[in-house]
């Protein structure tokens, strides 16, 4: 199984996180695609890292390149497409402020023995890993007071998990509300594997995520929405489509720790308001869509989900041609 790593960053080539990933990828023969943006340094050379400046991106034979906006996290889509075109069977993704524990590099398996949770609506998975009050970025605020069902209520079963979310220690992925009022750092505990199945929601992010080949079409990051919502709303769409294929979203213990880049928390708060106000509505809308099962319908389902997001006035109509280009670049 060929594994690839994808990161987008505007950091310099001496950045310690990028050097750590590049060193390991070179040693293990893992292709590492690093996607730059408008603010990236003019010169970037890092052994073990295949770096794509904006100019190099523009030279690619990819339909999506012509339309992707600059200065947006959605340019990471180019890295996914490069990994796919070059034969990846699984894609790992993270960010330039996440250091990898040794466990990050262990072999992943798509079929996993895990506590299988289904038909439970919104489930705050983070609280299975700590006694602290915490929730993931993107969790519907209206559902935070719902009681957490005991994990022992859900038997361990062999689950098909082509999308797998690892946690992050020290500075986990929480929203601006949490960061403004509750303490950090925080380390998660335990080694439970939790698979969320049909009709069960919990947002997942792009900080420590594994994608297996069948799920590659669902990796698309929207560009015409808030930077703070792009990977979260992607996760809702991926979950909804996963249900049609009896796929599960796996959560597992932390295999990275984050030393968070500088953020303006009030700006983050502002950028997350569209999520605070609409995450529950998005899930309810996606639940009501008539989608079809099977790998051949992933592209059609993806388009239907983004059309629904446009109809909610949460994503600009410019997103649809980008989704079509994304699918076209994969031969879908």
**Which of 21, 10, 12, 66 minimizes the C-alpha distance to 208?**
21
- Check pLDDT > 90 for residue 260: no
pTM of the entire structure? 0.97
Burial state string for 125-163 with b = 16 or more CB within 10 A and e = fewer than 16? bbebbeeeebbbbbbbeebeeeeeeebeebeeeebbbbb
How many CB atoms are closer than 10 A to CB 181? Answer: 7
Are the CB atoms for 34 and 51 separated by under 8 Å? yes
Dihedral sign for Cα 224, 230, 233, 239, please. Answer: positive
Per-residue pLDDT at 171:
95
Model confidence at 11: pLDDT above 90: yes
Q: How confident is the model at residue 103 (pLDDT cuts 50, 70, 90)?
A: very high
Asked whether the predicted pLDDT for residue 231 surpasses 90, the reply is yes
Average pLDDT over residues 32-49: 95
pLDDT over threshold 90, residue 16: yes
pLDDT of res. 268: 97
3-state SS record for the chain: CCEEEEEECCCCCCCHHHHHHHHHHHHHCCCEEEECCCCCCCCCCCCCCEEECHHHHHCCCCHHHHCCCCCCHHHHHHHHHHHHHCCCCEEEEECCCEEECHHHHCCCCCEEEEEEECCCEECCHHHHCCCCCCCCCCCCHHHCCCCCCCHHHCCEEEEECCEEEEEEEECCCCCHHHHHHCCCCECCCCCCCEEECCCEECCCCCCEEEEEHHHHHHHCCCCCCCCCCHHHHHHHHHHHHHHCCCCCEEEEEEEEEECCCCCCHHHHHHHHHHHHHHHHHHHHHHHCCCCCCCHHHHHHHHHHHHHHHHHCCCCCCCHHHHHHHHHHHCCC
Task: Give the number of residues written for the chain.
Answer: 332
pLDDT digits over 209-224, tens only?
999 999 999 999 999 9
CA dihedral 221, 227, 229, 233 (to 10 degrees): -10
Q: What are the residue ranges spanned by the domains of the chain?
A: 1-96, 98-287
For residue 158, what are the β-bridge partners? 113
Q: Please, which pLDDT band fits residue 256 given cuts at 50, 70 and 90?
A: very high
What proportion of the chain, given as a percentage, has pLDDT over 90?
97
Predicted pLDDT at 209: 98
- Average pLDDT of 158-181? 98
Average pLDDT over residues 86-106: 97
Distance of alpha carbon 216 from alpha carbon 159, whole angstroms: 18
Strand partners, 251: 165, 194
What values do phi and psi take at 100, rounded to 5? Answer: -85, 130
Residue 262 clears pLDDT 90, i.e. is over it: no
Give yes or no for residue 1 having a pLDDT over 90.
Answer: no
Cis peptide before 185 (omega within 30 of 0): yes
Asked whether residue 102 carries a pLDDT value surpassing 90, the answer given is yes
pLDDT digits over 109-160, tens only? 999 999 999 999 999 999 999 999 999 999 999 999 999 999 999 999 999 9
Residue 42 has what pLDDT?
85
pLDDT of 246 reads: 97
Q: What is the pLDDT of residue 332?
A: 84
Cβ-contact 310, 233 below 8 angstroms: no
**Of 142, 218, 132, 212, whose CA–CA distance to 172 is shortest?**
132
Strand partners, 168: 256
Question: Is the pLDDT assigned to residue 261 strictly greater than 90?
Answer: no
The partner residues of 232 in beta bridges, in order of sequence, read none
CATH architecture of 1-96: 3-Layer(aba) Sandwich (3.40)
């Amino acid at each position: 199984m060929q594994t690839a790593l994808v990161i987008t960053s505007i950091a310099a080539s001496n950045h310690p996180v990028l050097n750590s990933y590049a060193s390991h990828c070179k040693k293990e023969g893992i292709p590492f695609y690093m996607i730059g943006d408008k603010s990236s340094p003019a010169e970037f050379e890092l052994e073990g890292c295949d770096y794509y400046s904006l100019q190099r991106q523009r030279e690619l034979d990819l339909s999506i390149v012509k339309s992707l906006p600059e200065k947006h996290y959605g340019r990471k889509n180019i890295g996914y497409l490069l990994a796919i075109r070059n034969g990846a069977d699984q894609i790992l993704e993270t960010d330039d402020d996440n250091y990898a524990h040794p466990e990050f590099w262990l072999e992943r398996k798509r079929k996993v023995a895990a506590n299988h949770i289904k038909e439970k609506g919104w489930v705050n998975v983070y609280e299975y890993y700590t006694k602290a009050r915490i929730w993931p970025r993107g969790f519907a605020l209206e559902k935070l007071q719902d009681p957490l069902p005991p994990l022992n209520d859900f038997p361990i079963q062999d689950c098909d998990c082509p999308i797998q979310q690892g946690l992050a220690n020290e500075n986990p992925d929480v929203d601006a509300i949490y960061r403004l009022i509750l303490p950090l750092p925080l380390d998660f505990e335990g080694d439970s594997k939790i698979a969320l199945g049909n009709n069960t929601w919990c947002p997942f992010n792009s900080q420590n995520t594994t994608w297996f080949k069948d799920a590659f079409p669902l990796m698309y990051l929207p560009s015409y929405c808030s930077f703070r919502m792009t990977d979260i709303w992607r996760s809702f769409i991926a979950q909804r489509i996963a249900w049609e294929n009896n796929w599960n979203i796996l959560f597992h213990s932390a295999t990275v720790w984050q030393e968070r880049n500088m953020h303006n928390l009030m700006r983050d708060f502002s950028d997350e308001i569209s999520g605070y106000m609409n995450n529950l509505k998005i899930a309810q809308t996606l639940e009501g869509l008539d989608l079809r099962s099977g790998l051949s319908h992933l592209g059609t389902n993806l388009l239907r989900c983004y059309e629904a997001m446009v109809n909610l006035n949460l994503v600009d109509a410019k997103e649809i041609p980008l989704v079509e280009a994304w699918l076209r670049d994969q031969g879908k």
